[in-house]
Structure formats: structure tokens, C-alpha cells
Amino acid sequence: MREYTVILEPDAEGRGYTVLVPALPGCITQGGTREEALSRAREAIAAYIDSLEADGEPVPEEQEPIQVLKVAV
């Protein structure tokens, strides 16, 4: 079983979340609730991995934990 960090980005208008998977470039989904977004993230990650494996490509692993920081400007 693999684990990936996901980023839940709330919609500016409160209509749900966009989900990004930094270790899997282009793996993005969304959901109307936090739970739905996470469920769809699992589905998107599984489909992404299946596609890589079907094409004989290596499956990326997370190298180091993601750091989320705020920067004042």
C-alpha cells in the first residue's frame, strides 16, 4: 500500500475543494465536501498508478514530507 500527501484547497466561493497530489504531477480532482474530495483523491491516485503501470512506467514515491509554509511579502 502506498501513501501520498494530498492538498485540499477550499474553493473561494465555498463550493467544495480541489485536491492536488504533489508527488503525482497532474493528479488533480475535486469534491463538494471534504469527504467526497478525499474519496475522489483515492480514486484519482489509483487510476494514475494503474495508468503508469499499464504503460510500464515507474510509480513515483514521495521522497520527503511536504512542507507548507506562509511567506510574508
Q: CATH number of the domain that 17 lies in?
A: 3.30.160.250
pLDDT score for 68: 85
Q: How far apart are CA 24 and CA 36, in angstroms?
A: 20
Is the pTM higher than 0.75? The answer reads: yes
In the chain, where do the E strands start and end?
Answer: 7-10, 17-20, 28-31
Q: Are 17 and 41 in contact (CB under 8 A)?
A: no
67 band by pLDDT with thresholds 50, 70 and 90? confident
Q: What is the number of structural domains in the chain?
A: 1
The range of the structural domain enclosing residue 23 comes to 1-73
Per-residue pLDDT, averaged over 12-21, amounts to 93
Q: Which residues lie below 8 Å from residue 44, measured CB to CB, with a gap of 6+?
A: 19, 21, 27, 28, 29
